[in-house]
Amino acid sequence: MSTTTLQSLQLTDEQQTLVNTVREFADTVVAPAAYEYDTKRELPYDIIAQMGEMGLFGLPFPEQYGGRGKDYFQLCLAVEQLGRVDQSIGVTLEAGVGLGAMPIYRSGSEAQKAEHLPDLASGRHLAGFGLTEAEAGSDAGATQTTARLEGDEWVINGTKQFITNSGTQITKLVTVTAVTGESTRPDGSVKKELTAIIVPNGTPGFVVEPAYDKVGWHTSDTHPLTLTEVRVPAANLLGERGRGFANFIQTLDEGRVAFAALATGAAQGCLEEAMRYAKSRNVFGRPIGSNQHIAFQIARMESRVHMARLAYYDAALKLVNGQPFKKEASLAKMISSEAAMENARMATQIFGGYGFMNANPVARHYRDSKVLELGEGSTEVQLMIIARELGFDTFR
Ligand SMILES: Cc1cc2nc3c(=O)[nH]c(=O)nc-3n(C[C@H](O)[C@H](O)[C@H](O)COP(=O)(O)OP(=O)(O)OC[C@H]3O[C@@H](n4cnc5c(N)ncnc54)[C@H](O)[C@@H]3O)c2cc1C
């Protein structure tokens, strides 16, 4: 490995300052409120507003759109620190930027960027990305929602499910994918033309159904959506007609890197809690961490965090440097989510009975971490992508 590559994995002073600032905010503002909001199953709007004032939602966007002019790596660093103490807050930022605002920044017209990005980059508003449907999850190309062009309007019909940030008090829009046509391939099979369309909140026929009763991520906002004869201007087309599939693949590739940062933060949070408790909890007259078994488990937790962080730094640096990062994003997403789940399991074990109490942060990580192995492409989907990048035909 070249010296240049090694140096690139060291944080700059600016990056380290961001980490320190968000870490302190996470410890002093987010963590103390996490149990209360988790129990209420409410998004803490005051905390989201403070994150907006800190510029976290604008990190990767240019200043001309109300952003901070930083990059996607800095977004990841912020997400990691929030995910360490509260995954729901971490994913609200990750999905708000990575899934909500980023497609508009990457594919939007100048008018769309000017209209939406200042609101999203400031955290005054959130946006969702509606891809998943009952019959289109891992196989996202199987979308059944349709959009037909009538005059200068798109008319959208269908349902979406599990859409993050789609029903908050500050949700401005959801970008939905829809079938806008079909063509026949040379082998006779039908190819769907998928297109992304911006649907503003409050559009008649666009119904945000009641929130899910989830196992974890209680504070994060997740809803099914129903679209019945929803009419939006033709100008709400996001990117080119028929490029919806390519655009959401790009969105998901990028999103997985920030998602990996979130999972790395969760794994780190479990490690920190377990270390603290193993040093302070006395059983049989000595700290439980004096038992080699417990210390070795904590050493394993540290090794998982280390691998997860290296994996997402690598993917993020390739992303911001314009290098191919698809395989690295999937590796990072899979490694980090498994690290979070395993560290959450081990941390609850180390806490004994108290680890089973909801007020304990590791109990929340235990409930929250499972979805890290499912959202933004399950572990199996990451394996499909990695295998395909290695030359195997796995998408069947
Ligand atoms: C809390 C939460 C938030 C979410 N937020 C969003 C959002 O904001 N926007 C959005 O569009 N979606 C969102 N999702 C949806 C999420 O991306 C999907 O749940 C995920 O992609 C899996 O799709 P599915 O649930 O339909 O599972 P399925 O596709 O039905 O898969 C079921 C199981 O089969 C496995 N599987 C499928 N195909 C294969 C195969 N070929 N080989 C081996 N195994 C396979 C899967 O890995 C999985 O374990 C969210 C989900 C949750 C739970």
Q: Is the CB of 127 under 6 A from ligand 1?
A: no
Alpha helices in 26-64 (DSSP H): 31-40, 45-53
Q: How far is the CA of 224 from the centre of ligand 1 (A)?
A: 14
User: Best mutation site among 162, 214, 376, 395 for ligand 1, i.e. most ligand atoms within 8 A of its Cβ?
Assistant: 162
Beta bridge partners of residue 232, listed in sequence order: 154
pLDDT of 246 reads 85
Active site annotation includes 302 = no
Q: Is the pTM here over 0.85, yes or no?
A: yes
CA distances (Å), 210 to each of 125, 167, 168, 223, 364, in order? 20, 9, 11, 6, 23
Q: Which atom of ligand 1 is nearest to the CA of 140?
A: 21
- Residue by residue, DSSP assigns 339-376 as HHHHHHHHHHHHTGGGGGSTTSHHHHHHHHHGGGGTTT
Q: Which atom of ligand 1 is nearest to the CA of 395?
A: 41
pLDDT of 360 reads 98
pLDDT of 8 reads 59
% helix / strand / coil in the chain, to the nearest 5? 55, 20, 25
pLDDT of 5 reads 46
**What is the residue-level pLDDT of the chain in tens, covering all 396 positions?**
344 444 557 899 999 999 999 999 999 999 999 999 999 999 999 999 999 999 999 999 999 999 999 999 999 999 999 999 999 999 999 999 999 999 999 999 999 999 999 999 999 999 999 999 999 999 998 999 999 999 999 999 999 999 999 999 999 999 999 999 998 888 888 889 999 999 999 999 999 999 999 999 999 999 999 999 999 999 999 999 988 888 888 899 999 999 999 999 999 999 999 999 999 999 999 999 999 999 999 999 999 999 999 999 999 999 999 999 999 999 999 999 999 999 999 999 999 999 999 999 999 999 999 999 999 999 999 999 999 999 998 766
**Euclidean distance between CA atoms 53 and 43, whole angstroms:** 17
Q: How far is the CA of 342 from the centre of ligand 1 (A)?
A: 20
**Euclidean distance between CA atoms 155 and 79, whole angstroms:** 36
